[in-house]
Structure 1
Amino acid sequence: MIKIDKKEDGFYQFILKSDNGSVLLKSVSFSTENELDNTIKDIKALKNTNGKFFERRTNTDGKFLVELKNSTGKIIGSSGLYSSEAGMENGILNISNSIDLGII
């Protein structure tokens, strides 16, 4: 499920959640709703790209996270933190499935 929020500062953000309600991905902030809509369209174009737009990262505490980049390489969203690499890979799979199924 994807939720679009207009934040108190007037910026827009989307949040992708799993079926059980956990957050899979939070977008960066967008200054206009049109910019957010165009980014979501760009994400839909990533369908069936085998995860090449995911950047796997580790923070200073050794936790794992994923950043989703658009076709130009700009970071458009980040996952929450995972305690294991396997958990992160499962998160990537869930995000990819959401893209492939057209949930985003």
Structure 2
Amino acid sequence: MLEVVKDTDQGYKFLVKSSRGHTLLESVPFKSEKDALQKMQALKPLVKNSVCFERKTDHMGRFQFSLKDEQGIIIGNSQLYRSEAGMENGIKNTRSRIISS
């Protein structure tokens, strides 16, 4: 499921959620709901390209991925995962939810 939500004071963001309602990816803030919706609608062709997902490890050994647009700008970040396999599963689920939406 994909949805646009009001962010505190910074505008709007979109969320990619699992079938159980867990947030898989949270976007960066957008100034308007229209901007968030437009970026969200452009995700389907984007996630078919595996290079749009950047994998990272933090200083505590936790894993996270970011979603980048065509220009390489980060448009969303995942939660932190304890394992690399968990992160890869998160990428797979994120891609699946976006494509099926």
The TM-score normalised by the length of structure 1 is 0.89
Match of 2:29 in 1: 29
Cα deviation for residue 90 of structure 1 reads: 0.3
Match of 2:2 in 1: 2
Identity percentage over the alignment? 42
5+ residue gaps, structure 1: none
Q: Is the 8 A contact 2:28 2:75 kept in 1?
A: yes
- Taking only aligned residues, the RMSD between alpha carbons, in angstroms, comes to 1.3
- CA offset digits 1:67-90 (Å, max 9, x no partner): 000111110000000000000000
Q: Is the 8 A contact 2:14 2:37 kept in 1?
A: no
Cα deviation for residue 48 of structure 1 reads: 2.7
The TM-score normalised by the length of structure 2 is 0.91
Match of 1:80 in 2: 79
Q: Is the 8 A contact 2:63 2:83 kept in 1?
A: yes
Rounded Cα–Cα distance in structure 2 between residues aligned with 1:47 and 1:8? 27
Match of 2:91 in 1: 92
Residue type matched to 2:71 in 1? T
Structure 1 stretches of 4+ moved >2 Å: none
Residue type matched to 1:62 in 2? G
After TM superposition, the structure 1 stretch with the greater mean CA deviation from structure 2, 66-75 or 36-45, is 36-45
